[in-house]
Amino acid sequence: MATDLDRLEPNAQRVQDDLTELSQIHDPASSGWTRTVFSEPYRASREWVRARMADAGLTVHADHAGNLIGVLPGRSAAAPALMTGSHTDTVASGGRFDGMVGVLGSLEVVRQLVENDVRPDHDLLVVDFLGEESNDFGLSCLGSRALAGALTQEHLDRRDHHGVRLGDRYASFGLDPSDVLRAAGRFGPRGLHRYVELHIEQGPVLEERGAGIGVVTAIAGIRRLLATFTGRPDHAGTMPMGDRRDALVAAADAVLAVRQEGCGAPVHGVATTSRLDAEPGSPNVVPGLVRMQAEMRSVDVDWLSAAQVRLTEEIARKAAEHGVDVDLTWSLDNDCLPASPDVHEVVSSVADSLGIAWEAVPSGATHDAVHIARLCPMGMIFVPSRGGRSHCPDEWTDLDDIVTGIRVHGATLLALDRAR
C-alpha cells in the first residue's frame, strides 16, 4: 500500500522541539502541566500554535467556535477536504502528550509534504480543536462539538461549581456565544472526505502487547452523573449515630456503588467518582449536603444504559436507608461510536506496509474524532503510553513511538487522499 511518497521521514528533533516548547506554556502554580480551556496559559498557547501552523505552510484562521484551522490547499478545486488534528488543552495537572501529539504530529506531516513538494488532491485541514478536555461544565470536546453542530444553547447555559455560565466563559475568552452556535460545518464549501486523528493511547494495551500502533475500533460512550444528597446538619458531638441523616455517608455508599458497577462490566466498561463537595465542611457538624460528580464509560451501549438504571436504583435505595434525599442528574457527554471500517482498513494496511506491529483497540478516552464522525468517516491512530498512564504528570510517550505514529499518520493521509 505505501509508496515512496509515503515513506516521508519525520524530523524527530523538530517534533521534540515543538513538544518541549508547547509544554513550557502552562500554569506554573500547579503540578504537572496545566493549560485548561479559557485559561490565560491556554490563550497564550493558542497564539504559539497559530504561529507554528503558519510556519509549517498552513493558511490559518480561528473559526467561530475558537478552533484553529490550518489549510493546505489541494490540487483539486472540487474535492471535499481531508481533516486531521486534535487538541492542545490539558486537564489540571496533566501531561505533555495528550492531544499535543496529534496537533504537532500533523504539523510535522504538513512540513514533510511541503518540503518534498507533495500536494494531495484534497485540501488538508489541520485543526487544533478548542477545549477537548472535560471541564467544570461536564462537557468535553467543545470545539469539535460546535463544528459538528452538536453544541446547544442548553450546553451554553450550563453553570460550573461557582455558578458561572459556559456561555459567559466563551465571552470572557473573546468568543461570541451566539457565533459559537453557528460554527457548524464552517470549514469549507465542499464538506469532508475523511477524518483521522493521531493520539496517545492513554492506556496499557499497546505497551503490554508490544505494538507500535493502535488502530482504534470504537470510542467509548460517556454518561455523567451529578448527584445531590440532602440530609440534615447536626452537632457532631451530640446527635446519636442512629438518629443522624448524614449526607456524606450516603454519598460514600454511592461512591462504592459506582465502583462496583465499573468492576462488574462484562466488556470494556469503567465507572469513576471524581469529586465530593460536602457542606458545611466544619469538623463538628454532620454533613447535611453533598454534591457528587461521577461518570461511566463503555463501548457497550447496552451495558452503559443498564448500568445507569441499576446505579440510579442502588444510590436511591442506600440514601433512603440513611434518611437522606438524593437528586440524580444524568447527562450524555458522547455516544459510543465505532470508527469507520474503511479508515480502519487504510491505517492497518499502511502499518503493515511499513512493517509496524499494530493492534486493534477500543478507546476508553473520548476524542474530537467522536464529533467529527458526524461529518465524515473517521479513524484514529494510537501510539503507546508508558505504563498506560495519562491525565497526570507521569504521562509519557517515547519520541521514537511518536515518530512512528507520525510516519503512519502521514502515509494514512496520503492513502486516504487517493481513496475515492
By CB under 6 A, name the binding residues for ligand HGY. 132-134, 140, 365-366
Nearest CB to Mn ion, comparing residues 98 and 108: 98
Nearest CB to ligand HGY, comparing residues 104 and 351: 104
Choices 92-100, 121-129, 152-160, 252-260 (CB under 5 A): range interacting with Mn ion: 92-100
Chain centroid to Cα 94, Å, comes to 13
Nearest CB to ligand HGY, comparing residues 106 and 366: 366
Nearest CB to ligand HGY, comparing residues 128 and 132: 132
Instruction: Return the residue of 70, 85, 99, 212 that touches Mn ion, per CB under 5 A.
Output: 99
Nearest CB to Mn ion, comparing residues 142 and 414: 142
Nearest CB to ligand HGY, comparing residues 295 and 417: 295
Q: Under the criterion CB under 5 A, does residue 63 sit at the interface with Mn ion? A: no
Site residue total, Mn ion (CB under 5 A): 2
Ranked by CB distance to ligand HGY, the top (closest) residue is 365
Choices 97-105, 160-168, 228-236, 325-333 (CB under 5 A): range interacting with Mn ion: 97-105
Nearest approach, Cβ of residue 391 and Mn ion (Å) = 6
Nearest approach, Cβ of residue 148 and ligand HGY (Å) = 16
- Between CA 128 and CA 172, with CA 176 as vertex, the angle to 5 degrees is 80
Nearest approach, Cβ of residue 132 and ligand HGY (Å) = 5
- Quick one: what does residue 88 bind among Mn ion, ligand HGY, none, with the CB cut-off 5 to 8 Å set by partner type? none
Question: Which grid cell is 253?
Answer: 455508599
Nearest approach, Cβ of residue 87 and ligand HGY (Å) = 8
Nearest CB to ligand HGY, comparing residues 84 and 140: 140
Tell me the C-alpha distance between 191 and 55, whole Å.
26
- Residue numbers 297-316 binding Mn ion by CB under 5 A: none
Choices 59-67, 98-106, 235-243, 398-406 (CB under 5 A): range interacting with Mn ion: 98-106
Beta carbons within 10 angstroms of residue 115's beta carbon: 12
Q: Is the Cβ–Cβ distance between 143 and 83 less than 8 Å? A: no
Nearest approach, Cβ of residue 402 and Mn ion (Å) = 14
Bridging pattern class, strands 378-383 and 213-219: antiparallel
Nearest approach, Cβ of residue 94 and ligand HGY (Å) = 9
Question: Which grid cell is 171?
Answer: 465571552
Question: Which grid cell is 227?
Answer: 448527584
- Quick one: what does residue 299 bind among Mn ion, ligand HGY, none, with the CB cut-off 5 to 8 Å set by partner type? none
- Whether cis (ω within 30° of 0) applies to the bond prior to 280 is yes
Q: What is the dihedral of CA 212, 213, 217, 221, to 10 degrees?
A: 80
Nearest approach, Cβ of residue 381 and Mn ion (Å) = 13
Q: Under the criterion CB under 5 A, does residue 108 sit at the interface with Mn ion? A: no
Nearest approach, Cβ of residue 17 and ligand HGY (Å) = 25
Q: Under the criterion CB under 5 A, does residue 197 sit at the interface with Mn ion? A: no
Nearest approach, Cβ of residue 294 and ligand HGY (Å) = 13
Nearest CB to ligand HGY, comparing residues 103 and 365: 365
- Quick one: what does residue 34 bind among ligand HGY, Mn ion, none, with the CB cut-off 5 to 8 Å set by partner type? none
Nearest CB to ligand HGY, comparing residues 308 and 348: 308
- Quick one: what does residue 123 bind among ligand HGY, Mn ion, none, with the CB cut-off 5 to 8 Å set by partner type? none
Q: Under the criterion CB under 5 A, does residue 98 sit at the interface with Mn ion? A: yes
Rg (CA), the chain: 23
Nearest approach, Cβ of residue 140 and ligand HGY (Å) = 5
Residues that bind Mn ion (CB under 5 A): 98-99
